Each structure stands twice: as structure tokens, then as C-alpha cells.
Amino acid sequence: MSTQPASNMSNQGKVLLNAPEVRRTLERLAYEVIERHGDGDRLALVGVQRRGVELAKRIKAILEKKLDRQIPLGSLDINLYRDDWTRLDSQPLIHKTQIPFDVDGREIVLVDDVLFTGRTVRAALEAILDYGRPQRVELLVLVDRGHRELPIHADYVGKKVNTSLFEQVDVFVQEQDGRDAVLLNERP
């Protein structure tokens, strides 16, 4: 998960992925999902609010075009499942969770923008299990920046980047930020 909301993100920084590279990376990730799931008859996507949802929508479109079938899509807000929200300076902004399909027996691909400590993924897994018991949950991330605090890894990774704890990975998506880009910035 990106460490800063879009309104606070710097427009400067080292470009990790530009718009065409984001598009190609999402296409490659979608093909990797097809390789593992074949015709995708039990496949469903769940995007983590906020940018993970937009990425999941794009992957869904690619999958549906290639598989010639509808792929269920859900969105997940993990804020109430966070293990650190009592330590936050402000209350988290709560977004909608919508899982409009039966989770039981599904092969779910959880989609997020950045994998960092693993705590967002832990919260997302807990939230998904409140909706049922999937056969499998896999993780797809646009960027893996390392520094895990929990034993969590991504099954599908767009770009792996070695970062320091004094840096942040900022993901911009057209739907929310007016452009597609992934930048590496110094933490404020």
C-alpha cells in the first residue's frame, strides 16, 4: 500500500514505472494469472482500497478480453482490520467494501499497489475471511519494496524494488490522480 495519499504525493522523484510501463506490467501480470488459472472458472479479483481497486479493474478487463468470460470483482477496505489504528495520529478514512460474489470455494487474487511490511495484506486476508472460505487467496502487487514484518509474499509482482526505510513508493493511477506512474521518493 502506498504510504502517502495522492494529495500529499510529490510529483518529483525517481521514476520506477512510467505510464506505458504500468500498462505493460499489468498486461504481463494478467497473463501470469491466466497461466495459473486456465479458463478462470473459479477466479475472482479483490482490490484493496484505493489504488488496488483501480489496478484490479484494469486486470479484470484484460482477463475478460483474453478469457472471453466475466471475472467477478470486489473491493476491500482494510482500515477496520489494521493492527495499528489505535496508534495513528488521525482516524482512518473508511471506504466501501463490496464483495458481490460468494467467496466460498473461489480462487481469489488480492490486488494491491505496493507490498511493504505485509500488514495491509494480513488485514485484507482477515477481512476476506469474514465473507467466507475461499479455496485459495493469491496476492498480486504492482510493486514489492521489501521490508516485511510478517511472513507474507506476493504470488505476482510487477516490479521488485530495493528501498530504504527512508524512502517511499508513490503510485499514481489515472482514475484517481490523472496519470499513471510509480515514483520513489524520500520520506518527508
User: Which of the four pLDDT bands, split at 50, 70 and 90, describes residue 12?
Assistant: confident
Cell of 143: 510493486
CA dihedral of 67, 73, 78, 80, whole degrees rounded to 10: -160
Is the pLDDT higher at 188 or at 112?
112
For the chain, what are the domain ranges?
13-35+42-84+95-186
Which amino acid is it at 162? Answer: N
Hunting for cell 500500500 — which residue is that?
Answer: 1
Q: Dihedrals φ, ψ of 163, to 5°?
A: -125, 165
Q: Dihedrals φ, ψ of 177, to 5°?
A: -115, -5
pLDDT in tens, 56-92: 999 999 999 999 999 999 999 998 776 655 555 555 5
pLDDT in tens, 103-148: 999 999 999 999 999 999 999 999 999 999 999 999 999 999 999 9
Please provide the CATH number assigned to the domain covering 13-35+42-84+95-186: 3.40.50.2020
| Residues 154 and 130: beta-carbon distance below 8 Å | no
pLDDT in tens, 36-46: 999 999 999 99
pLDDT in tens, 163-187: 999 999 999 999 999 999 999 999 8
Judging by DSSP bridges, how do beta strands 107-115 and 136-144 pair with one another? parallel
**Mean pLDDT of the residues in the chain:** 90
pLDDT in tens, 14-26: 999 999 999 999 9
Cell of 156: 505476482
Is the pLDDT higher at 102 or at 12?
102
Overall average pLDDT of the 27-36 stretch: 98
pTM (2 d.p.) = 0.89
Overall average pLDDT of the 10-14 stretch: 76
